[in-house]
Amino acid sequence: MKNQIRPLLSELSRARMTAPPGIWSNSPDLAGWLLEHGQEFIFSPHKDLKKTRVGHCYQDSQELALKNPHLTYCEGYVQLGFEIPVPHAWCVNGKCQVVDVSLRSIQTPERFYFGVPINNDVVGRFKAHPGTNLSILFWNESNWPLQNGTIPELYWRKAISC
């Protein structure tokens, strides 16, 4: 199986740039931004984690990272088996291994993860805002603070060497 995340992000970014004026004029090029700032992560099965609900990846991964300081919250895309990559959230440990509680029960021969590691302090501040328990990257109520530089990369990005 081939990792399709980077090609998908490239296509999304290209489509955004060639779209008629006004379609995406109020939002940043998230796909292009993710290609510039993201990195790949390695999946590692973990049997000792509690099972969570599929469809709650952002909230469950944020809570896991905040309760376990040795884990780092990440957002980006996941590709399971031969499926199309989808937006997703997970955690990584100090070895850049993915700890994915929301897709834990899904059995696939291969998984690909591509995204950005976000400092847990930023995650905590994000969760402190009422009604913000979803994606940090898609946080449009604050005009996309990571992508537009309101929150500088030096502050939001967790340094992880893979």
What is the reported pLDDT for 64? 92
Q: How far is the C-alpha of 5 from the C-alpha of 112, rounded, in Å?
A: 8
What is the reported pLDDT for 1? 66
Between helix 30-37 and helix 5-18 the angle, nearest 10°, is 140
How do 72-80 and 111-118 pair as beta strands? antiparallel
pLDDT, one tens digit per residue, over 111-141 is 899 999 999 888 888 877 766 658 887 766 6
DSSP H or E segment with residue 66: helix 57-67
> Do 52 and 60 contact (CB within 8 A), yes or no?
yes
Residue type, 133: N
pLDDT top residue among 21 and 51: 21
Number of other residues whose CB lies within 10 A of the CB of residue 121: 12
Percentage of the chain surpassing pLDDT 70?
74
What is the reported pLDDT for 12? 87
What is the reported pLDDT for 80? 86
- Name 151's Cβ contacts closer than 8 Å, sequence gap at least 6: 122, 145
pLDDT, one tens digit per residue, over 1-35 is 678 898 889 888 888 777 776 666 667 788 888 89
What is the reported pLDDT for 146? 72
- For residue 139, CA distances in Å to 77, 142, 148, 162 come to 16, 6, 11, 27
For 72, the 3-state DSSP assignment is strand
| Residue indicated by tokens 């400092």 | 119
**Is the whole model's pTM more than 0.75, yes or no?**
yes
User: Is the per-residue pLDDT at 48 higher than 80?
Assistant: no
| Residue indicated by tokens 């291994």 | 97
- Sign of the four-CA dihedral 30, 128, 56, 47: positive
pLDDT, one tens digit per residue, over 76-113 is 999 987 788 889 999 999 888 898 888 766 666 688 99
